[in-house]
Amino acid sequence: MSSLSLRMAAPVLFVVLLLVATEAVTARVVSEERHCLSQSHTFKGLCFSSENCASVCKSEKFPGGQCQMHGASRKCFCKVVC
């Protein structure tokens, strides 16, 4: 290798490592977001399909929802980042 390519290798490696570290921190922050749950006000009956629950929650202006056990029955809970 020439001396020019060796001099360029260090800065390029530094930039690559910096980008990898930035992505790792960003992914960690996103994965650590907390979700608050609120029982759907319009979902009727037992919740067996999280897709249906999510659809109802979106109509209630929530970003999504999922079925969860609540006591002895499954209910639809809407999720929002809190």
> Rounded to whole angstroms, how far apart are CA atoms 80 and 33?
10
Q: Give CA–CA dist 82/37, Å, rounded.
A: 9
Question: Residue 68: phi, psi to the nearest 5?
Answer: -145, 150
pTM of the full predicted structure? 0.57
Which residue has tokens 């020019």? 4
CA dihedral over 38, 76, 58, 33, signed as positive or negative? positive
| pLDDT reported for residue 81 | 86
**pLDDT per residue as tens digits for the range 11-63:** 766 665 544 455 544 444 445 678 899 999 999 999 999 999 999 999 999 99
pLDDT-derived band at 5, boundaries 50, 70, 90: low
∠ CA 59-26-64, nearest 5°, is 10
